[in-house]
Structure 1
């Protein structure tokens, strides 16, 4: 069984930059990952000199990365304070989940239409691996496989743009999901939702697939609301 007290995503390794031609991009992704994984907390101040020293670069690419992250609405600039990480709030979560409902439903319909046999085969393997992760008490592996399940559908939709949207939304969801306690009941509900979707896909029923998907996403949102906002609704 998964530990009832929960699980946190492991800390990233220190960034090592060897190619100066891609330094700006690497610095941006490094800081972004630390925010999404919760290594930099909501409302925490981002100090250019400290980040530059940690990464091993000058302040210029750090400053450029922070500007890009502000555009992405992961951080915000406060006069005489500098940049801080945006707080997580329930409205943001609700919006992400609503957009996922629409985007992933479309992706499921396209994937069933274009590549149903491969979709069934790949999702069957994914569900089996999820069950293996549970049996092996591997919550980190389970979280990754859960994400892959949804990305398999998006990838087989045949739309690179849709896949990119799904991946972006799921990475933003990671800010919330990393706080969820992965107790066994939560994981089993997630897998049950995946199996329900898989059954509908096996039967070639797009409408039933979308309905199963929406129930699954609704349950995932409720789990996050329970664990993330239970004690601090204004987080």
Structure 2
């Protein structure tokens, strides 16, 4: 009978011992997109489209303060049912652009000329901050885009396109606000500008004041090119303060029947000598 070992058996090797270490587990990769599964386009609802259409019409003055709107007529003109129109109207009511009454129906909200002074005070505070923050983050692309808008405003002024001037002015300030990287500042700026645009539907800006706007925008651009946050903030505040002063003068002039100082000067040059209206001293 063969001899047998009586000692303890050696331990069995553990899994993996005696072999090269296994490669670390790889990070799971997302499954490949199917060839036919392209990115879906961003689709907006009919209510969103109706909302944007009406909001733009209010901003451009195509729907003026006090205009009456009928649900059935809006639905027919826009080629939709009453449901998206009702949703859009509710949003515009919440924003204060439309008002509804039991007897009056839906109307475009009137512009409170007294509150417009508060709007410009808010702009002066907010846009000064916007200018400083935008200058910190500004790059050549932002300055080039703002300069393109600036040049387009010059062209619109030359042709007397007041609607384009208002839209380009809003685009200039909105682009500056978006450059801050803060969505809330962009939204506040856009809302304040919309109020100003609605106000100017009933109180248009004279060509001479649009030239002042362009000169003030040029100062903002120069400060941005220098990369100076404090100078940019100062230029934006000076711009909004100047426009607030102009609006106050225009409102006072409308109340007294004299118009702004610029408008009075234009009348004085147009009137024959000796027939000029007396001016307040």
TM-score by length of 1: 0.76
**Map of 1:57-206 to 2, 5 A cutoff?**
57-206=80-229
Query: Deviations for 1:59-99, whole angstroms, at most 9, x for unmatched residues?
Result: 23222222222111112222333222221112331232222
Say if 1:230 and 1:59 are closer, same or farther in 2 by CA, change over 3 A. farther
Say if 1:137 and 1:37 are closer, same or farther in 2 by CA, change over 3 A. closer
Secondary structure in structure 2 of the residue aligned to 1:83: strand
2:239 is the counterpart of 1:216: yes
Say if 1:49 and 1:188 are closer, same or farther in 2 by CA, change over 3 A. same
Residue matched to 2:64: 41
- Contact 2:135-2:232 within 8 A present in 1 as well: no
CA RMSD of aligned residues (A): 2.9
Tell me, in whole angstroms, the C-alpha distance in 1 between the residues paired with 2:149 and 2:86.
40
Secondary structure in structure 2 of the residue aligned to 1:178: helix
More contact order relative to length (CA 8 Å, sep ≥ 6): 1
User: Of the two, which has the highest radius of gyration?
Assistant: 2
TM-score by length of 2: 0.65
Q: How many aligned positions are there?
A: 215
- Contact 2:127-2:237 within 8 A present in 1 as well: no
Is there any run of 5+ residues in structure 2 with no aligned partner, and where?
Answer: 1-42, 257-281
Residue matched to 1:4: none
- Contact 1:201-1:209 within 8 A present in 2 as well: yes
Greater helix proportion: 1
Tell me, in whole angstroms, the C-alpha distance in 2 between the residues paired with 1:99 and 1:73.
17
